[in-house]
Structure 1
Amino acid sequence: MATIKDVAKLAGVSISTISRVLNAPDKVSKDKRERVLRAIEQLKYHPNALARGLIHKKTKTLGILIPDISNYYYAEMFRGMEDAAQEFGHNIIICNTDKDKQRMISALRSMKEKQIDGFVFTSEPVYPDYYDIFNQLGLPVVLASTQSLEYAIPSVKIDDEQAGFDAAQYLIDCGHRRIAMISGPHLDPIAGMSRLQGFMRAMRTNELDFDSARCVEFGNYRYDDGYAAMERLWDKNPELTAVFAASDEMALGAIYFLYRSGVRVPDEVSILGMDNTRIACMSLPRLTTVAQPIYEIGYKAVRTLQEVLDGAGPATLRTYLSHQIVARDTVKNVNGEIF
């Protein structure tokens, strides 16, 4: 396969001249331009991103760091990122970090070597050592489904605290008073504690008794965590009538525990999920959930990164997109209506 060096040698010009012909042909004399084009045709040379970016220092390649690519949430977010990248003519390198710091560092170094133009970092908090790594790389970065209040990094997400509040308020408006929550990890400041704090704020606002020791269990957003957390809740609080789970997977795990225990959803216990991933409408009963605009978060994150790359920067440092409750079949009000 011919390389840019082969083309330069055959045309009798420098590599930088080849790059100018590819990126800014008007800046090259007609004679040189024609020689380069003949050499490209003769060698059947297909310029890669690095060759085309030698002059402008752009490879039209973006990096995406995702903590769990097997999660339905990230699959939907990545679709939005990919569509935006295609719109702007970018290629994407995706890396599954598995929430492992060393794996993330290795991925970022590899992306730097491949001369990516910038990257999107998803869901995890930006710890001080992460920020130091970002600075060392010297690459534009945008946060998706996470944010940093300490550092001036553009971000796109929902207001998770308000989402937790709205979830509890929805169950209260449906007539429930004995409500519990299956929360994300209490050490997760992005979606764990923030959603729990919003949930508890709604309980206080409505002057409802709330014993966190009996009414809150924690999990890592996965199906098995939801099953185990629901089992613990039911063991210590069997009189509850509604549960808000901080992810759809945990909500479905909770429903399966109740099914195996002979408890009917939503007739005896209502379950409200969070995210509105594809599986929410595949279950029986179909899951009522607090919907995040997952696709839009991914799409907007890449658009924001493009604004940074263009030099304009985002109009808003921290962008919050709207969430909404999607009513299906797993929440019932005291009058017997399905919400």
Structure 2
Amino acid sequence: MNPTIKDVAKKANVSIATVSRVLNNLGGYSDKTKQKVNEAIRELGYQPNAIARGLINKRTHTIGVLFPNVSSNFSSDILQGIEDYAHGRNYSVVVCNTDDDGKRTMKYLQLLREKQVDGIIFSSSLLKEEYYEAIQAMNIPVVLVSAASNHTTVPYVKIDDCLAACDAVEFLIGKGHRKIAMISGGKEDLLSGTPRVDGYMRALQKHQIPFDSRYLVYGDFRFESGCIQFETLMRTVPEITAVFAASDEMAIGVLSAAYKLGLRVPEDISVIGFDGVQLANMVVPPLTTVSQPLREMGKIASETMIRCIETGETLPGTIVSHSIIERQTVRTLA
């Protein structure tokens, strides 16, 4: 028979309430008492039951996190920040890979409801009305990270995508480039696609560089589309001197395609990415990029979520700063 919290209390010679306080890091006990309780837990092999604890304190200390592509470098960096902070506060994280599919997302929301999670962090996707209504019905908080919503009461953590894209293109212009192509995300992507295109346009206009529609192509933020769209650009506008890719994965796709085409980076073509994932510093040559503080964004989202859970507060959104990390994929034109 599995040991119970009552067994732990008896072995440690303390009350059940004290064991519960130790398990939940609530304080109000000495280090010696904490040591006795933890020793009893180890000796008995006691495993706290999250559902049973939830019946008592109305919480399971579990957070659901939804990503459209959990295997991407972008998602893994954000997840690291979320988990690091949550773990430090004794919260567990349940990760769901939605593949940006509406039906799958709704299925996962139902699963998280059954698991009685205390809150949901929604990442890298638009919080559609049906998702919002499903979460509202669960009566738990939701926090967005690198995501957006029409609901002004939903807390978020993100950068200013338009400004960051404008800064990326201005960086290229400052290096003497004027024939600058862009590989954007999807045309219908209002979250990151449209604002980054707006930033590209803003930089060109600011420096009185005419926009050429052939210089703007659309991918899906993933490696393969970077390869494909760079080859398209080389067929249609081979005169370009620089490419701004709206994600590091697409920028790395550009590096790969350039190599296959016999082009040297940055001697023949300059490339700047967007996101600042760890992989950008591992490729050859190391990628110049607009960096989002992804782990920090995950940490802030996790911190905001736990504060919402524990206080019931409605917190504001957070805009974090981006930066340009110059490495070896952009050259200065004479």
Same fold (TM over 0.5): yes
Q: Does 1:115 align with 2:116?
A: yes
Structure 2 counterpart of 1:254: 254
- 1:323 counterpart letter in structure 2: H
Secondary structure, in 3 states, of the residue corresponding to 1:59?
A: coil
Secondary structure, in 3 states, of the residue corresponding to 1:310?
A: helix
Tell me the alpha carbon deviations over residues 100-148 of structure 1, each in whole angstroms, 9 at most, x when there is no partner.
1221112121111111111101010012222222212221110011122
Structure 1 counterpart of 2:204: 203
In structure 1, distance between residues paired with 2:190 and 2:234: 26
Structure 2 counterpart of 1:98: 99
Per mean C-alpha deviation after superposition, the further-off stretch among 42-51 and 298-307 is 42-51
Structure 2 counterpart of 1:31: none
In structure 2, distance between residues paired with 1:85 and 1:24: 18
Provide closer, same or farther for how the CA distance between residues 19 and 60 of structure 1 changes in structure 2, counting only shifts above 3 A. farther
**Does structure 2 retain, via aligned residues, the 8 Å contact 1:20–1:55?**
no
Provide closer, same or farther for how the CA distance between residues 187 and 19 of structure 1 changes in structure 2, counting only shifts above 3 A. farther
Structure 1 counterpart of 2:185: 184
Structure 2 counterpart of 1:285: 285
Structure 2 counterpart of 1:234: 234
In structure 1, distance between residues paired with 2:110 and 2:16: 26
In structure 2, distance between residues paired with 1:228 and 1:65: 28
In structure 1, distance between residues paired with 2:106 and 2:232: 37
Alignment size in residue pairs: 312
In structure 2, distance between residues paired with 1:175 and 1:325: 17
So what's the TM-score if we normalise by structure 2? 0.87
In structure 2, distance between residues paired with 1:165 and 1:19: 59
Secondary structure, in 3 states, of the residue corresponding to 1:290?
A: strand
Structure 2 counterpart of 1:311: 311
In structure 2, distance between residues paired with 1:127 and 1:54: 31
Tell me the alpha carbon deviations over residues 7-27 of structure 1, each in whole angstroms, 9 at most, x when there is no partner.
69xx9xxxxxx98565469xx
Q: Does 1:333 align with 2:321?
A: no
Secondary structure, in 3 states, of the residue corresponding to 2:64?
A: strand
Q: Does 1:301 align with 2:301?
A: yes
- 1:231 counterpart letter in structure 2: E
Structure 1 counterpart of 2:26: none
In structure 2, distance between residues paired with 1:132 and 1:114: 18
In structure 1, distance between residues paired with 2:105 and 2:179: 42
Give the C-alpha shift of residue 59 in structure 1: 1.1
**Does structure 2 retain, via aligned residues, the 8 Å contact 1:182–1:243?**
yes
Q: Tell me, which stretches of 5 or more residues in structure 1 are unaligned? A: 12-17, 26-36
Alignment of 1:66-81 (within 5 A): 66-81=67-82
Higher-Rg member (1/2): 1
Give the C-alpha shift of residue 159 in structure 1: 0.8
Secondary structure, in 3 states, of the residue corresponding to 1:163?
A: helix
So what's the TM-score if we normalise by structure 1? 0.86
In structure 1, distance between residues paired with 2:314 and 2:176: 42
Give the C-alpha shift of residue 211 in structure 1: 1.4
Tell me the alpha carbon deviations over residues 21-70 of structure 1, each in whole angstroms, 9 at most, x when there is no partner.
65469xxxxxxxxxxx9xx9898653212222322201111111111111
In structure 2, distance between residues paired with 1:171 and 1:308: 41
In structure 2, distance between residues paired with 1:46 and 1:303: 26
Structure 2 counterpart of 1:28: none
Structure 2 counterpart of 1:245: 245
Secondary structure, in 3 states, of the residue corresponding to 1:190?
A: coil
Secondary structure, in 3 states, of the residue corresponding to 2:173?
A: helix
Give the RMSD, CA atoms, in angstroms. 2.4
**Does structure 2 retain, via aligned residues, the 8 Å contact 1:60–1:117?**
yes
Give the C-alpha shift of residue 223 in structure 1: 1.0
Tell me the alpha carbon deviations over residues 73-109 of structure 1, each in whole angstroms, 9 at most, x when there is no partner.
1111111001110121111111111111221112121
In structure 2, distance between residues paired with 1:21 and 1:251: 55
Secondary structure, in 3 states, of the residue corresponding to 2:194?
A: helix
Provide closer, same or farther for how the CA distance between residues 20 and 211 of structure 1 changes in structure 2, counting only shifts above 3 A. same
